[in-house]
Amino acid sequence: MSSFWSAWIIVFTLACLVVCFVLLTWNLKNHVGVPENETTGHEFDGISEINNPLPKWWTIMFYATFAWSVYYFAAYPGLGSWKGLFGWTSSNQGVKSLAESKAAVEANKAAGTPSQLDAEYVKAEGTFAKEFAKYTSRPVEELAFDKDALKVGQRLFLQNCAQCHGSDARGQRGFPNLTDNDWLYGGTADKIVETLRHGRKAAMPAWGEALGDQGVKEMTAYVLSLSGRKVNDNDAAAGKAKFGMCAACHGMDGKGSLAHNLPFGAPNLTDSTWLYGGSAGTIEQTLRLGRNGQMPAFGERLGEDKIHVIAAYVYRLSRPDEAK
């Protein structure tokens, strides 16, 4: 924090305290010219206004609150860069990344001064390690049909995945539906674990400058025709002639990289499943500007045990009717 902002916060905070104290003191005085507990002469609908003073307990409590605030700002950080008389700081203050957080935790453990939260994490890991062990020793495909494991997997999914994919896992614009059988990188147990562990980063290049307005229109017509949509035949034919620039990822048949064992995550353009929307306007936008989707990596954050259980839950989502 710069010295200017530190001074600004100090001045503003102290000024607020002074104003509050002055207002309180001023309001405790009789400014209406009427003795306390007597009527002010104001009456409405048979109700008279009495000049009642503030209750003593309220006044004492207000002054006590004010005194506490002065003590707090003196003893603890709160006035700009002032560290307080006690020099107190929050646990791991200044940590800005997962790697720094883990390093701070290990340093505290080595020094024999773990924070309360870190100690609780260690205790929790010891408590639940045996519970997870009975799940991680079994294959994901088998675990996907264990009711107890699915309950644990669902809770982990809601805590870590539902923010993007939704609580029902049906996804939303830009985030895939996990309950169908349409996969960008593969829906096998190994691929789901791989996605959870390392994340995914997709990149659809922008073709607006290369194609031009007419080219974007023609390519859109051809892409729509792949899924059986009714389009202008001339535009679709012209778009097909240009589709070679897309075939490297989507394949010449437009069935996507997964159908051709390619690792790009390019979607199947011949079905009716669309990640960002299947309208002509949305496809034109995708062609002009490109898309950049990212699935975060959960390997370090969750660990192998939790990833294994979540993978079983996700694996089962697209196979609700299968029997073990």
* pLDDT value at residue 323: 62
Backbone angles phi, psi at 43, to 5 degrees: -140, 140
Q: Which two tokens mark 111?
A: 């020094």
Whether residues 64 and 8 share a domain: the answer is: yes
199 torsion bin: left (phi>0), alpha (psi -120 to 50), beta (else): left
Residue 243's nearest CA partner among 178, 287, 183 is 287
Whether residues 191 and 205 share a domain: the answer is: no
Please classify residue 219 by burial: count the beta carbons closer than 10 Å to its beta carbon, then call 0-12 exposed, 13-18 middle and 19+ buried.
buried
Backbone angles phi, psi at 160, to 5 degrees: -120, -20
55 contacts: CB under 8 Å, gap ≥ 6:
none
Residue 36 lies in a domain: no
Give the helix/strand (H/E) hosting 201. Answer: strand 200-204
Whether residues 188 and 213 share a domain: the answer is: no
Domain that holds residue 152: 120-199+297-317
Q: Which two tokens mark 252?
A: 């010449």
Residue 107 lies in a domain: no
Which one-letter amino acid corresponds to residue 43? E
Whether residues 13 and 132 share a domain: the answer is: no
Whether residues 165 and 215 share a domain: the answer is: no
266 contacts: CB under 8 Å, gap ≥ 6:
184, 204, 249, 250, 256, 257
Residue 226 lies in a domain: yes
Residue 220's nearest CA partner among 212, 38, 112 is 212
* pLDDT value at residue 122: 80
Residue 41 lies in a domain: no
Q: Which of helix, strand or coil describes residue 121?
A: helix
Whether residues 159 and 307 share a domain: the answer is: yes
Radius of gyration over alpha carbons of the chain, in Å? 32
Residue 196's nearest CA partner among 252, 140, 150, 248 is 140
Which one-letter amino acid corresponds to residue 313? Y
Residue 90's nearest CA partner among 80, 76, 100 is 76
Looking at residue 167, which CATH number applies to its domain?
A: 1.10.760.10
Buried residues in 149-171 as b, exposed as e (16+ CB within 10 A): bbebbbebbeebbeeebbeebeb
- What distance lies between CA 110 and its chain's CA centroid? 32
315 contacts: CB under 8 Å, gap ≥ 6:
140, 141, 144, 187, 189, 192
Residue 234 lies in a domain: yes
Say how far apart CA 57 and CA 54 lie, in whole Å: 8
Whether residues 195 and 304 share a domain: the answer is: yes
Residue 195's nearest CA partner among 274, 98, 100, 302 is 302
Whether residues 291 and 161 share a domain: the answer is: no
Exposure of 66 in the CB half-sphere (CA atoms within 13 A): 17
Residue linked to tokens 């169908």: 180
Say how far apart CA 22 and CA 118 lie, in whole Å: 45
Count the domains in the chain. Answer: 3
Whether residues 178 and 312 share a domain: the answer is: yes
* pLDDT value at residue 163: 95
Exposure of 301 in the CB half-sphere (CA atoms within 13 A): 13
Using an 8 Å Cβ cutoff, are 175 and 169 in contact?
no
DSSP β-ladder status, 39-44 and 47-50: antiparallel
pLDDT per residue of the chain (324 residues) written in tens, 0 to 9: 688 988 999 999 999 999 989 988 888 888 778 888 888 888 888 888 888 877 889 889 989 999 999 999 999 888 888 888 887 776 666 777 778 888 887 888 888 887 787 788 888 888 888 888 889 999 999 999 999 999 999 999 999 999 999 999 999 999 999 999 899 999 999 999 999 999 999 899 999 999 999 999 999 999 999 999 999 999 999 999 999 999 999 999 999 999 999 989 999 999 999 999 999 999 999 999 999 999 999 998 899 999 999 999 999 999 887 765
